[in-house]
Amino acid sequence: MSRFPDSKLTPGERLQRKGQESKPLLRNLIVIGASAGGHRALVEILKYFSVDTPTAMVILLHVPLGSAYSLKESLGRFSRVPIIDVKEQETVQEGFILVPPAGRSATFSDGLIRVEEDSPPRPVSTINRLFMSAAQNYGERVIGVILTGLLKDGTDGLRAVHQAGGLTIVQDPEEAEYPDMPTNAMKELPVTFCLKVGRHWPRSGTAGS
Q: Which residues are tagged catalytic?
A: 35, 62, 153
**Reported confidence tier of residue 163, pLDDT bands at 50, 70, 90:** very high
Segment among 16-30, 68-82, 84-98, 189-203 with least mean pLDDT: 16-30
Residue pLDDT, tens place only, 104-114:
999 999 999 99
- Edge-to-edge, what's the strand order for the sheet holding 106-109? 89-91, 112-115, 106-109
> Average per-residue pLDDT in the chain?
85
CATH number of 96's domain:
3.40.50.180
CB contact set of 183 (below 8 Å; sequence gap of 6+)? 173
Q: Structurally, how many domains does the chain consist of?
A: 1
The per-residue pLDDT for 140 is 97
The answer to whether residue 95 is domain-embedded is yes
The answer to whether residue 74 is domain-embedded is yes
**Reported confidence tier of residue 49, pLDDT bands at 50, 70, 90:** confident
Name the residue range of residue 35's domain: 22-195
The per-residue pLDDT for 17 is 41
The answer to whether residue 52 is domain-embedded is yes
The answer to whether residue 1 is domain-embedded is no
The answer to whether residue 155 is domain-embedded is yes
